Amino acid sequence: MTRRVLCRLDEIPDPGSRGFDFREGDALHSVFVVRTGSAVRAYENACPHTGGPLDWVPDQFLTREKDMILCATHGALFRIEDGHCLSGPCVGENLTPLPVSIEGDAVAVEF
Ligand code: FES
């Protein structure tokens, strides 16, 4: 497992989300983090429907009400807590979660 610090916690809106693209060796990673208060969750930025990214507007992965994760391509809705799809073309499927931690004020993922 490789650990990577993404940003400071206060650089993610509360509630809100932020996307990160980075290269590690030959692999290109696209992930996003959702913050609700002091809780953070991280997922690969790949919709189970097509494998494409969820965001059309950078860093915007949530509904207007900020209560669910939204795939902007065809409108799939996912629970923030576990990435389970409740509505849309991939209902019943799941986003791929990544271990995420807050260390001091740094948000880090493992992949
Ligand atoms: S690509 Fe996400 S709902 Fe179709």
Choices 1.10.3080.10, 3.20.20.150, 3.40.50.300, 2.102.10.10: CATH for 3-110: 2.102.10.10
How close is the Cα of 20 to the center of ligand 1, in Å? 19
Q: What pLDDT shows up at residue 52?
A: 97
pTM of the model: 0.96
Ligand 1: atom nearest CA of 74 is: 3
Low-confidence residues in the chain, pLDDT < 70:
none
What residue type is 79 in one-letter code?
Answer: R
How close is the Cα of 109 to the center of ligand 1, in Å? 24
Q: Tens digits of per-residue pLDDT, 53-67?
A: 999 999 999 999 999
Whether 72 and 83 have beta carbons less than 8 Å apart is answered as no
Q: Tens digits of per-residue pLDDT, 1-18?
A: 899 999 999 999 999 999
Query: Which residues line the pocket of ligand 1, CB cutoff 6 A?
Result: 47, 49-50, 52, 71, 73-74, 76, 88-90
Ligand 1: atom nearest CA of 51 is: 1
- The residues spanned by each domain of the chain are 3-110
Instruction: Determine the number of helices (DSSP H) and then strands (DSSP E) in the chain.
Output: 0, 10
Whether 94 and 12 have beta carbons less than 8 Å apart is answered as no
